[in-house]
Each structure stands twice: as structure tokens, then as C-alpha cells.
Amino acid sequence: MDIWERMDYLRKELEKHNKLYYENDAPEISDFEYDAMLRELEDLEAKYPIYATPDSPTKHVGGRVNEKFSKVTHKNLMKSLGDVFSKEEVIDFLRRVRQSVEGEELSFVVERKIDGLSVSVEYENGRLVRASTRGDGAVGEDITENALTIRNLPKSIDPSIPYLEVRGEVYMPFEVFLRVNEQAELEGEKTFANPRNAAAGSLRQLNAKITAERELSIFVFNIQEIRGKEFSSHADTLRFLSSLGFEASPGFIECKTDEEIWSAIEEIGESRGSLSYGIDGAVIKVNEIPLRARLGETAKIPRWAIAYKYPPEEKKTRLLSVEVTVGRTGKLTPVAILEPVHLAGTTVSKATLNNADFIAEKDVRVGDMVVVRKAGEIIPEIVSVDVSQRPAEAVPFAMPEVCPACGEKVYRSEGEAALRCLNEQCPAQIYRAMMHFVSKDAMNIDGMGPSMINVLLSADLIHDVADIYTLSERREALLSLERMGDSSVSNLLSSIEDSKSRPLSRLIAALGIRNVGVVAARALAKAFGSMEKLKQATVLELAALPDFGMVTAQCVEDFFAKESNRELIEKLERNGVNMVEESSGEQNTAWAGKVFVLTGTLPNYSRSEASEIILSLGGSVSSSVSKNTSYVLAGEAAGSKLTKAQSLGITILSEEEFDRMAEEARNQGANA
């Protein structure tokens, strides 16, 4: 491969991975591998400028705007940072800066480089009016509605500040990330590769309720623009932002000498294992704001800041064995059992092996000495095998031909990497199906956690999810179980009884239909209204639903085509579980024909709860304001929707006014 071919290859690879990382939130390589390719291309372009192209990935930020969101043209460009990977490169950066401002008093701030999604947040007269993603640095996506769900982002600040734009990094804490992936796995949905991609995917949801459930957080690290105030140092801006209620670049360190700066970088690096969120580097910034203007910027990066990227920590350890687990949908997942090793702040004894193709590609064998690292600082993964230390008795690992939980033959569908057990009576699948059925977003049965389900299965008291609703007939058997007193049994049975009246959408979500999560379940319940009508729906009727595709539609039709699933639903109905979306009485139609739009944060309701009230009274909920909108329910930090409603003369409701209207509508329905 000649120089031109190599550069062309690097450009195409980098653009491909830019799309995967920035637009699809599904990277295939690590940041370290990406940075190495980018650095190689930069070096080649510097050495062979005749082969450089104007649209090279070295000259632009990687993201593009998702067409599902409104575009935002940034008043202040959101540039990326240049990366360095060694102490020598850090010192070289400091030398260049000092030479450029020779004779000036100079200091630096060293900050944690949070591994998340970069956003801009704007405030006017103290109110949050807009939030947007970085996009390509010049144009981003309007994600205001989703940003309003971020718990530690102030929705209002000091109203005496006429305008403030801050830049920050939205991230997902490790604890939340593990919970989100655990729930996704339980529901048979795709899991996120790392917290950064989980944060990005959550913030770019079309349904803000899903974003709210992901419990995102934000650190702000820069004032992009402020009116009415001036600052001489970056450190002062961070302290000012903290006084306004922002979490501003926690743990930042002010430095002057090269030694202090490198010590700060090492200190931040050593803290990685103890933090509750991911960082992938340290950022060194010139502290004096007036000097930044003198140092200037290139088309892509500022000359007054640099990012030091920590190499991913890797350790060698012995692969002792491979366990194969069985998920709710029957998917077989191989898990490496390792000789325990301390890695990135925790002791690692297990690592994902993904599937049979991954094992074959890496040539992983039991007994091998393997190199392990944490993907995104949290998920242990096997990077490679040290073949030089392979024991003579090591043999290639082969996925089982039968299910390890039930012994039935396993199958691999065309186009899928995963093996699956198709036995509906597989104990592992039954256990996970029950875990999913009773979970918060499904039937929400308190007191029926993993240990209780295991106890009930072991005691032969339940065999499928429908049996949960026969436990009231087995009170004495429940009382005989270990640590189950009269109060515990009463509480459990009461929770089970309450779950019978859950809306149809909850039951659909609880059934565990492949590719059908909470949002799709609500769409199905709304479209068909009853389980009986849903069972009879054709694949074309299903595919025609908003945001449904042929794949999901086929999964739904396949589920109801199975006789065992239809029998399970009949059993649930016999046991008193609600099968219609409106579970009791005639629907109140007091608000029939009324269209509501929700904006801002309500003091006492989530958007989902407010929407349910509107729907229960016969109204409808729209995501956008138009001349057909009847009312706008505006909470704290209402944004552009409120402004548009005011310009159209639409009635604006506070939560108190909404409550009074709802009460009147209920009374009207009761007297009808």
C-alpha cells in the first residue's frame, strides 16, 4: 500500500467510525484506537501535504445533525480539542504557549475530561431557553425537551443575567449505566457498549420520558458567552458557575509550572477508579482569558487548550473457564471466568466474550493468558491473547450444541451471531421472563424480586407468569417458606392483586415480545385497545403504526401466532388480569377534541402522568404547537413552545389551572 492509498484508507475508516460514534452511538473501536489512526493521518498530511484533502476528518468535528431533531446554528462554535498522549507532548504544548505570550504572567487549569456528550445550554433572563448538541461544531441538534430532564442542570438561574451560554458534558453515572443495561438485557433489547454511548443515545431520544428514566447528569466546563459580566480567569468562571447552581468541572486544579501540571494529570489519572463516572483524559487550559484571544484558534481546535488522553489500563490474567448464560429470549452468552485481577479501581473476575464469532476471531482458549481492559472504564472485555504463554493443553472453546439450562438443542438464525434456545420451558428463560414481568416498567409487583422468584420456583409454587396470580390460593404454602411471615405474605398478595388492574400497555410490555419495549407497548395498546384485537392484528396493520417497522411488526405477529403464548394470555385473563386499555367504566370525554401540548418541568407531575390525565378525560397530547392546539401546559423553564403558543394566542395553563380544569372535567363526567 503506497502513501496515498494509506491516507485514503485512514480517511474512510475515520469517517466510518465518526458516523458510528457521533451519529449511531455505537462505536466499534476504542477511543485509543481511533486516536491512533487520527494521529497517523495528521502526521502523513503534515509530511505529504500534496495528498491532504480539504474535507479530511483531521479538519472537522466528527458529528452530523440527526434529521429527527431541529437544527441549531451555534452562535459560538463548539470546537474540539487537540489530543496528546505523552508527557513530552504536554511539555511541548506548554513551551509553545509560553513562547507565544512571552513576558506575560501565565497559569493553567487542569480538569477531568468527562466521557460524555458535549452540549450547549442557553439562558435568557435566568430561564433555560435552549439546549443543543455539538453536532459538527457549527450546527447541532435542539434537545431542549430532553435536557430539561437532567436532574442537576439548573432550569433557572440568577434573573439579573441577561444572557448566558455554557458548554458542558452530559454523562451517565456507572451505577445508572449498569441498571439500564441490566434492564435492557432483561427485556431482550440491545445493550449499550459504554456509559458515553448510553448517555448520547438517551439524550437523543424522541421521547423525553425515556431520557428522564435514564437519570443523566451534566458537568459544565466553560462559559461560551455571558452578557453583563466579565472575568479575567477561567478558574473564576468555574467558581461563578458553581455559585449559580451548576456542577462546574469538579476537582479542577490550578497550576503554574510544568511539574505541577504533570502532577495534576497523574493525580486525575489515579482517581479514575474511584469516580462514579467515566473520564478519558485530562484537559490543560490557559487560565488567563485575555491571553486566549492572543493565542487564537485553528479551524478545528483552540491553541490555548489540549487534551491528554490516558491509555486504557490493561492487565494480563489467566482465563480459567467459560460459562454460558441463557437470557430471557433464549440467547446464549459466553462469559470468561478469570483469575481475579485489579483493573481500573476494581477487582475483575469476569469478562464478556460476546458470541462464538468473537471467540473464534480472537482465538480465545481456556487456559490462555489474556489481556483484559475495561471498555468505557466499566465493562471488562478481552482485548487479545498472549499466544506465547499458551499452555500445551489449551483447546479452542466451542459453544454448546445444547442449552446449558435445559439440555435442548440450540439454533443460530440466519444473519444472527447469537445462538438461541427455543425451548419455552427452559428454566433460565422462565426465570428471566418472570423477572421482566414483575419489573417496574411492566406489572410493577413489589416484593417479588430475584430471590423471591427463585424461592417460588424452587418450591414449585409457580411455573409461568400467570401462576403468580394463583398465589392467593396458596397462602399457607407461602407462610411455610423461609422468612415469610403473615405481614410479608399479605403485602406480596396485595401487590399482586393491585397489578391485575394495570393498563393494557403494561401487560403488553410485560409479555416480553422481542423488540417491544415500553414505548412500543403503549403504541400497541392505544392502536388496538384490547388484547383480543391485538392478537388478531396483521403484520401490515402493525407495521403501519408510527415508529414501527416490519421487523418489530413481525416479532409481534410471531408472538401471538404461538399457541403457547395465546394460552398464557387466556390463563392471565382467567386469573383476573386486565386485558383492555380502559380497565373500568366508560371513558370520560369532557376533553374530547381538546389538544394539549406540554412544555417545561411541572412541579408535581411527570410528563407521562400529566399525559395520562389528559387521555383519561378524552383529550389528546401533541408534541408540537400549532393553530390546532387548544392548551399549552407550561411548567418551569418552558422554552420555544411557550413562545410560539403566546404568539398564536393559545391559552397557557399553569399546573394549578390544569388541576382545576381536570377536577371540573371529572365532575362533569360523573354527572353526565
Q: Which three cell numbers stand for residue 659?
A: 388541576
Residues linked to residue 200 through DSSP beta bridges, in sequence order: none
DSSP-derived pairing of the beta strands 127-133 and 117-124 = antiparallel
Torsion sign across C-alpha atoms 654, 656, 657, 659: positive
- Residue 370 near residue 316, CB atoms below 8 Å: yes
Burial 435-470 (b: 16+ CB within 10 A, else e): bbbbbebbbebeebeeebbebbbeeebbebbbbbbe
- Residue 427 near residue 405, CB atoms below 8 Å: yes
Burial 43-68 (b: 16+ CB within 10 A, else e): ebbeeeeeebeeebbbebbbbbbbee
Q: Is 222 helix (H, G, I), strand (E, B) or coil?
A: strand
The two most distant CA atoms of the chain are separated, in Å, by 86
Dist CA 510 CA 518 (whole Å): 9
Q: Which three cell numbers stand for residue 617?
A: 378525560
Q: Around 667, how many Cα atoms within 13 Å sit in the side-chain half-sphere?
A: 6
Q: Which three cell numbers stand for residue 7?
A: 491516507
Q: Is 112 helix (H, G, I), strand (E, B) or coil?
A: strand
Cα 38 to Cα 11, 43, 57, 283, 304: the distances in Å are 8, 9, 8, 19, 21
Residue with grid cell 399457541, as numbered in its chain: 563
From the candidates 79, 113, 155, 374, give the one annotated as an active-site residue: 113
Helices 427-437/450-458 angle, 10° precision: 130
Task: Report how many helices (DSSP H) and strands (DSSP E) the chain contains, helices first.
Answer: 24, 22
- Residue 204 near residue 133, CB atoms below 8 Å: yes
Q: Is 554 helix (H, G, I), strand (E, B) or coil?
A: helix
374 is catalytic: no
Catalytic residues: 113
